[in-house]
A and B are shown apart, each in its own frame.
Chain A
Amino acid sequence: MSTDLNQKYDQLIADNLDNVQAHSSNLLNSYRKDAQQAFHKNGLPSIKNEDYKYTNVLPLYKQDWNLPQLEKELPMNINEIFRCDVPNLDTDLVLTVNGRFHEFQGNADKLPEGTIIGGLAEMSEKYPEIVKPYLFQQAEQDTDSLVALNGALAVDGLFIYIPRNAVFEKPIQIVNLLLGERPLLTHKRNLVVADENAQSQIVICDHTLSAERFFDNSVTEVVVKQNARLEYYNIQNQHNGSSQISSLFANVHRDATFHTSTISLHGGLIRNNLRISLLEEGAHADASGLSLTDREQHVDNHTYIDHKAANCTSNQFFKSVLDDKSSTAFTGRIMVQPDAQQTNAYQSNKSLLLTDDASSNSRPQLEIYADDVKCSHGATTGQIDEEALFYMRQRGINQREARLLLMFAFAYEVIDKINVEPLALRIEDLVNKRLRGELSRCNNCEIKCQ
């Protein structure tokens, strides 16, 4: 472990603290000292840290980065640069730029009464009574120093509050944009609360709008209250010089459902931390992920589903298709606490290796302290099924097309879990293009990156 490197980031926090605080909110600032200390205590995780065994973040932190300039006005021509091109996807659109809330483009009048969508810094000043009970309540900054680093440096992010009994007709779409002329290190802090009986779908698209290097460390806390249903989809489609660490913490209450799917199409290094706590009886979680990697890309999905109460269910379903020298990792822990009788938990991780140089690591972990539970897990790593390939070729389908159909079929099991139909169709299309080696970024994107 490099103490010099840790000092560098201690110093970065110290140097920027005043400026960060000046542009953030009192509530966010009230946690900054703790975060700063937690980071100082643990330092950056090396691969000696079990949780980061398969993902080495140190080379990224060794690079030179700039924090976003907070004084500078954000570019106002975002709408000209970026247009989402998911056909027929009718959403209420929210934009963030370099980790900060930029604009809500939906029709606020048509949203259910009491809905709040806005920047976390601003909303925590405006609605402290709604934000405070949930903010910094889940994110584990004492055990994960990258979460702590986010707590120390995040100025803003998104706050979404879905009021009691509200049923959203349209998905809320969050487009996270990164742009700049210098390498940027960004920290974004989000909070999403779905109150009792609420139902909503959230679609998050991560994009890069310039060819510069980016490194985003985002932390999202999610609360799904009693009998609510929240669907949360994340499409990671940044250029390959862009890396991200994305940590999601979700508390799921009685009879509530949290359904999440992460599709990693492009990006350099991607690390997704998913921590779901099933707090009360009847809580349910579906978590899935699909990554399509090539070149030297690396995607690490790290999940922890904590069954804290009886009669809860969870399903995890993670898949990756690996080309070239790329690598993926999956570590999935299912924790069943002593009180969590009648737990039903399932986990599956499958990887399809297209080359001999690609590699995939899978670590399923079950930790069970109750005696009446049903838990199962499975992991497979394999290549294209030669028997199936021959069968298809015998019907006149050429080798390339048959391989594509098989790869797509492999990926489709995850796409099938996306309940927003236009989005699923768009992802189908993107995955198809991606597997064909065609550029799969959104057609309306202005920058031509690799």
Chain B
Amino acid sequence: MLSIKNLHASIEGQEILKGINLDVKPGEIHAIMGPNGSGKSTLASVLAGRDIFEVTEGEVTFQGEDLFDKEPDERAKDGLFLSFQYPVEIPGVSMVNFMRTAVNEIRKHRGQEELKSSDFLKVLREKKALVEIDSKLTNRSVNEGFSGGEKKKNEIFQMAMLEPKLSILDETDSGLDIDALRIVANGVNKLKTKDNATIVITHYQRLLDYIVPDHVHILYDGKIVKSGDKQLAVDLEQHGYEWVKKEMAL
């Protein structure tokens, strides 16, 4: 589904990603862990198409097509979803209007008809229940005045609405208390099918107790330095990043 080969990216001339290789297949959950500044969020942003980063080398294909040929909204329409670490507040744009526009753009792209208003509201209700999001939140402006936990739940709600092929969850657990974490993780698990894939970016192993990964990768200084199964996350939690550094002679 997603194939990253030797990806290098920089911001303002400073190289952040220094040759990333990663393959994600349908049905898989990958976790990417790493210390602050290792390039986790940069990887997420580059894949989503944030133009402040410059791709200097390497290639990425998404469902067989060159990802970098496409604008951010085209990538989203193809099924790439980014759950933002810091969801943006957009005063004056209502959640309902925002989601209706997004859902219909994506449907158009898939050759489906736009949803009728009543059908749209029905889907909206179903998905709200799925992620246990407060019903009133969708009447408000996008993320405006939402608490940290509400913002993260709102990301998963949008993921539920848009039914992406590949979801990248960028530090979705940061700032969540244990209840919110459970709700968010439940939402992600319910949305899991054999056809879609998830990349979970996180600092801590905690989230991975709820969203169990098939593969765990450790990102360090812009490179994946170690990959393994879910046990790797447990070892990392026990021994810390110093252990990885020693192990890999970094």
CA distance A395 to B77 in the complex (A): 8
Majority secondary structure, A binding face? helix
Asked whether B233 is an interface residue with its Cβ less than 8 Å from the other chain, the reply is no
**A390 surroundings in chain B (CB, below 8 A):** 48-50, 72, 88
Number of B positions contacting A (CB below 8 A)? 30
Q: Verify A393–B71 contact, CB threshold 8 A.
A: yes
Using CB atoms, name the residue of chain B closest to A398.
B73
**B87 surroundings in chain A (CB, below 8 A):** 391
CA distance A408 to B50 in the complex (A): 24
CA distance A25 to B235 in the complex (A): 94
Which of the segments B96-104, B199-207, B224-232 contacts the partner chain? B96-104
**A410 surroundings in chain B (CB, below 8 A):** 92
Q: Verify B92–A387 contact, CB threshold 8 A.
A: no
A217 to chain B minimum Cβ distance, whole angstroms, is: 35
Using CB atoms, name the residue of chain A closest to B78.
A396
Q: Verify A399–B77 contact, CB threshold 8 A.
A: no
Q: A388-B88, A395-B162 are in contact. Are A406 and B101 (CB under 8 A)?
A: no
**A408 surroundings in chain B (CB, below 8 A):** 92-93
Q: Verify A397–B102 contact, CB threshold 8 A.
A: yes
Q: Verify B105–A409 contact, CB threshold 8 A.
A: no
Asked whether A413 is an interface residue with its Cβ less than 8 Å from the other chain, the reply is yes
Q: Verify A399–B90 contact, CB threshold 8 A.
A: no
Asked whether B32 is an interface residue with its Cβ less than 8 Å from the other chain, the reply is no
Determine which of B73, B92, B93, B141 lies in contact with A396 in the assembled complex, contact meaning CB atoms within 8 Å: B73
CA distance A394 to B48 in the complex (A): 7
CA distance A399 to B105 in the complex (A): 12
Interface size class, chain A: 20 to 34
B102 to chain A minimum Cβ distance, whole angstroms, is: 4
A189 to chain B minimum Cβ distance, whole angstroms, is: 38
A interface footprint on B86-121 (CB within 8 Å = 1, 0 otherwise): 011111110001100110011001000000000000
For window 391-444 of A, CB contacts with B under 8 Å fall at 391-399, 401-402, 405-406, 408-410, 412-413
Q: Verify B98–A396 contact, CB threshold 8 A.
A: no
Using CB atoms, name the residue of chain A closest to B105.
A396
CA distance A343 to B48 in the complex (A): 50
**B102 surroundings in chain A (CB, below 8 A):** 392, 395-397
Q: A390-B50, A397-B101 are in contact. Are A409 and B93 (CB under 8 A)?
A: yes
**B77 surroundings in chain A (CB, below 8 A):** 396
Asked whether B172 is an interface residue with its Cβ less than 8 Å from the other chain, the reply is no
Using CB atoms, name the residue of chain A closest to B48.
A394
Q: Verify B76–A395 contact, CB threshold 8 A.
A: yes
A322 to chain B minimum Cβ distance, whole angstroms, is: 18
Determine which of B75, B90, B106 lies in contact with A409 in the assembled complex, contact meaning CB atoms within 8 Å: B90
CA distance A387 to B101 in the complex (A): 18
Q: Verify B92–A394 contact, CB threshold 8 A.
A: no
Q: A398-B105, A401-B101, A405-B97 are in contact. Are A393 and B72 (CB under 8 A)?
A: yes
Determine which of A393, A398, A399, A405 lies in contact with B93 in the assembled complex, contact meaning CB atoms within 8 Å: A405
**A393 surroundings in chain B (CB, below 8 A):** 49, 71-73, 76
Asked whether B67 is an interface residue with its Cβ less than 8 Å from the other chain, the reply is no
A interface footprint on B145-159 (CB within 8 Å = 1, 0 otherwise): 000000000000010
Q: Verify B162–A396 contact, CB threshold 8 A.
A: yes
Q: Verify A396–B88 contact, CB threshold 8 A.
A: no
For window 138-197 of B, CB contacts with A under 8 Å fall at 141-142, 158, 162
Asked whether B241 is an interface residue with its Cβ less than 8 Å from the other chain, the reply is no
Using CB atoms, name the residue of chain A closest to B86.
A387
Q: Verify B73–A409 contact, CB threshold 8 A.
A: no
**A399 surroundings in chain B (CB, below 8 A):** 71, 73
Q: A390-B50, A393-B73, A394-B76 are in contact. Are A406 and B93 (CB under 8 A)?
A: yes
Q: A392-B98, A393-B72 are in contact. Are A413 and B162 (CB under 8 A)?
A: no
**A413 surroundings in chain B (CB, below 8 A):** 91-92
**B76 surroundings in chain A (CB, below 8 A):** 393-396
Asked whether B84 is an interface residue with its Cβ less than 8 Å from the other chain, the reply is yes
Using CB atoms, name the residue of chain B closest to A387.
B88
For window 375-395 of A, CB contacts with B under 8 Å fall at 385, 387-388, 390-395
Q: Verify B97–A396 contact, CB threshold 8 A.
A: no
Asked whether B82 is an interface residue with its Cβ less than 8 Å from the other chain, the reply is yes
Using CB atoms, name the residue of chain B closest to A402.
B73
CA distance A391 to B50 in the complex (A): 10
CA distance A408 to B142 in the complex (A): 14
A380 to chain B minimum Cβ distance, whole angstroms, is: 12
Q: Verify B90–A391 contact, CB threshold 8 A.
A: yes
For window 43-84 of B, CB contacts with A under 8 Å fall at 48-50, 71-73, 75-77, 81-82, 84
Q: Verify A388–B90 contact, CB threshold 8 A.
A: yes
CA distance A396 to B106 in the complex (A): 6
For window 94-144 of A, CB contacts with B under 8 Å fall at none
Q: Verify B92–A397 contact, CB threshold 8 A.
A: no
CA distance A393 to B90 in the complex (A): 13
CA distance A385 to B143 in the complex (A): 15
User: What 4 pairs between A and B have smallest CB-CB spacing?
Assistant: A409-B92, A396-B76, A395-B102, A391-B88
Assuming A385-B88, A409-B92, what are 19 further A-B pairs, CB within 8 angstroms?
Answer: A385-B90, A388-B88, A390-B88, A392-B98, A392-B102, A393-B71, A393-B73, A394-B72, A394-B76, A394-B84, A396-B106, A397-B105, A398-B71, A398-B105, A401-B101, A405-B101, A409-B90, A409-B93, A413-B91
**CB-defined A-B contacts under 8 Å, sample of 14:** A390-B72, A390-B88, A394-B49, A394-B73, A394-B82, A394-B84, A395-B102, A396-B73, A396-B102, A396-B106, A396-B109, A397-B105, A405-B101, A409-B92
